């Protein structure tokens, strides 16, 4: 079976943990421990979030005043390389002899996407109100408030086309574990004459993972995070985790746009368009989701 696994930002960096290299290495080791049994039995493509990491890189770029601030597409490429390198290293230790590859991946977006006028994608750390107002004034950054804290938000255009999809297919067909489309891929615009240029934004990782899974003919798409599935009636006494479900049932739920909403949308899109299995659940349950024993499993 061909499986695409999308590692959520909270699967790589737990809530409240510092953005330190050793912390991320420890969490990536935990992720690879969960994925190694899947890789041993199936063809595997891995993608991952990068919200905390790209936000940290933006802060570091801003703090170094001797040079101009680096654009988000370049920072996205840096985060793809950093996280992919750590995942590849851990996979080599768990699956000796299995070939792996990290591929910097450009994803074309529509220059007229309304997301460029309405930034919604959270990146980086949390700030108090004073720091958020200062950075907003100095840098023109937009922020969203949650529970008295503030986080930077940037445009999140829809992924339209993965530019390196041919290379990804060749590698997977050859039995290579491919780590690609990290952080949703590097957002770019392709002109009519083929010129490529990066844009300021961060593509939603789950939507890009669904596009990747469809483009490579995956049988299953696993969106792994720090919760064990999708819940109906979340936050109420009647809340219940959905096991086997359909895009139609999930479409009737009222889900938070900045949290579970994009995951459900991406999972339903993949299941509806391909007839494959889309699973949402906890990282450590990856194998059990495929076996139908855990998580929320969506089929057409």
Task: Give the pLDDT band (50/70/90) at residue 258.
Answer: low
Distance separating alpha carbons of residues 166 and 251, to the nearest angstrom: 32
Q: Which of 205, 229, 276, 279 is catalytic?
A: 205
Catalytic site residue 27? no
pLDDT (tens digit per residue) in 118-177: 998 887 778 889 989 998 998 888 999 887 889 889 899 999 999 999 999 999 999 999
Distance separating alpha carbons of residues 155 and 168, to the nearest angstrom: 26
Helices vs strands, H then E, count in the chain:
10, 17
Catalytic site residue 129? no
Q: Which of 9, 55, 76, 184 is catalytic?
A: 9
**Angle (nearest 5°) at CA 137 between 133 and 140:** 110
Q: Which of 51, 201, 263, 295 is catalytic?
A: 263
Q: Which of 10, 229, 279, 281 is catalytic?
A: 10
Using CA atoms, how far residue 142 sits from 112, 137, 155, 196, 201, in Å, is 20, 9, 10, 26, 12
pLDDT (tens digit per residue) in 67-104: 777 888 998 999 999 999 999 999 999 999 899 999 99
**Angle (nearest 5°) at CA 243 between 7 and 47:** 15
**Angle (nearest 5°) at CA 33 between 38 and 287:** 35
pTM given for the model: 0.89
Please count the other Cβ atoms lying within 10 Å of the Cβ belonging to residue 14.
13
Helix or strand or coil: residue 240? strand
* 58 against 266, higher pLDDT: 266
Task: Give the pLDDT band (50/70/90) at residue 23.
Answer: confident
Question: Is the confidence at residue 63, as pLDDT, over 80?
Answer: no
Look at strands 186-190 and 196-198 and give their pairing: antiparallel
């Amino acid at each position: 079976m061909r499986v695409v696994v999308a590692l959520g930002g909270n699967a790589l960096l737990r809530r409240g943990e510092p953005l330190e290299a050793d912390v991320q290495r420890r969490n990536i080791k935990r992720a690879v421990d969960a994925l190694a049994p899947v890789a041993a039995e199936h063809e595997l493509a891995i993608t991952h979030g990068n919200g905390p990491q790209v936000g940290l890189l933006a802060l570091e770029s801003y703090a170094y005043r001797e040079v101009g601030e680096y654009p988000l597409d370049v920072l996205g490429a840096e985060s793809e390389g950093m996280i992919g390198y750590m995942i590849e290293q851990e996979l080599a230790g768990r699956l000796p002899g299995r070939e792996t590859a990290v591929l910097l991946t450009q994803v074309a977006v529509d220059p007229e996407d309304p997301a460029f006028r309405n930034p919604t994608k959270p990146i980086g750390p949390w700030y108090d109100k004073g720091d958020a107002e200062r950075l907003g004034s100095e840098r023109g950054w937009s922020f969203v408030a949650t529970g008295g804290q503030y986080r930077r938000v940037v445009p999140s255009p829809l992924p339209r086309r993965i530019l390196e999809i041919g290379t990804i297919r060749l590698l997977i067909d050859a039995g290579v574990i491919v780590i690609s489309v990290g952080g949703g891929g590097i957002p770019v615009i392709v002109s009519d004459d083929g010129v490529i240029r990066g844009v300021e934004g961060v593509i939603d990782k789950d939507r890009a993972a669904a596009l990747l899974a469809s483009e490579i003919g995956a049988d299953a798409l696993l969106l792994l995070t720090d919760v064990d599935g999708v819940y109906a009636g979340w936050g109420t006494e009647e809340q219940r985790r959905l096991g086997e479900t359909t895009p139609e049932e999930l479409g009737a739920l009222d889900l938070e746009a900045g949290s579970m909403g994009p995951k459900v949308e991406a999972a339903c899109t993949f299941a509806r368009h391909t007839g494959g299995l889309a699973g949402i659940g906890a990282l450590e349950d990856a194998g059990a989701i495929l076996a139908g024993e855990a998580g929320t499993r969506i089929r057409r």
